[in-house]
């Protein structure tokens, strides 16, 4: 189910009918930072929303007909290389990510961050909530490894009320 299919004749790496592309931590971190540095919070919102949209579509395709959708969605997150997602507390408006790709790389490259940097993960958690609960929920990252790895063992996403 988390199988990627490489179609060499079209240069496509497919998952759930969507095109995935390989990129590295340096690019991911730099691109995100460039967009936010140039335009501020507006781009934070844009990145979360686009992640939510594209992940909802992909996860819907991938979890169709699957009984344990929750663990499938967690596994896909790791298969994308983003860390370990735990959705066990999702019903209570909370989820966590350990070893967040974006958080660790932002921290190593730029030091302690002021705010959470896991924008893609935030959108992914929102997509997971939409699929698993049938409702759109505005999750935000309330703790991030990148802010202080000694204080925050993992990134935490919660519904802001």
Partner 1 sequence: MIDMEYVTIQFSKAEINNDENGLIPAFDVFLTKIQGDYYSQISFEFEKIFAEGLQNDPETLEAARELLIEAGHVCGFNTFGGIMKSDEFYSVVVPLIQEKEDWIRGMVAIINVLGWGVYKIIEVSEEKLILEIKNSYEGDAYVRCYKTHSDSPKCYLAVGASIALMSLVFHADISQKPELDDLLYDNLFRKSRKYTGKETQCIAMGHDNCRIEISRI
Binding partner of residue 105 among partner 1, Zn ion, none, CB cut-off 5 to 8 Å per kind: partner 1
Residues 94/156, Cβ–Cβ less than 8 Å: yes
Residues 82/123, Cβ–Cβ less than 8 Å: no
Binding partner of residue 144 among Zn ion, partner 1, none, CB cut-off 5 to 8 Å per kind: Zn ion
Binding flag, residue 144, Zn ion (CB under 5 A): yes
DSSP letter for 35, please. Answer: H
Beta-bridge partner residues of 11: none
Of 29, 56, 100, 105, the one binding Zn ion by CB under 5 A: 100
Cα–chain center distance at 98: 12
Beta-bridge partner residues of 139: 159
- Give the pair of three-digit tokens for residue 84: 């370990």
Question: Which parts of this chain interact with partner 1 (CB under 8 A)?
Answer: 4, 6, 8-13, 15, 18-28, 30-31, 34-35, 38-39, 42-43, 46-47, 50-51, 54-55, 58, 77-85, 98-99, 101, 105, 120
Question: Which parts of this chain interact with Zn ion (CB under 5 A)?
Answer: 100, 103, 116, 118, 144, 155
């Amino acid at each position: 189910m988390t199988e990627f299919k490489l179609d060499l004749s079209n240069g496509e790496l497919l998952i759930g009918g969507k095109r995935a592309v390989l990129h590295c931590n340096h690019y991911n971190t730099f691109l995100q930072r460039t967009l936010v540095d140039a335009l501020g919070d507006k781009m934070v919102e844009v990145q979360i929303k686009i992640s939510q949209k594209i992940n909802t579509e992909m996860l819907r395709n991938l979890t169709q007909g699957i009984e344990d959708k929750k663990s499938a969605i967690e596994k896909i997150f790791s298969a994308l290389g983003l860390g370990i997602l735990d959705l066990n507390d999702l019903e209570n408006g909370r989820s966590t990510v350990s070893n967040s790709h974006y958080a660790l790389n932002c921290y190593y490259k730029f030091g302690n961050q002021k705010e959470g940097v896991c924008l893609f993960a935030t959108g992914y958690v929102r997509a997971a909530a939409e699929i698993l609960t049938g409702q759109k929920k505005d999750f935000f990252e309330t703790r991030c490894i990148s802010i202080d790895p000694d204080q925050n063992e993992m990134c935490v996403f919660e519904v802001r009320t």
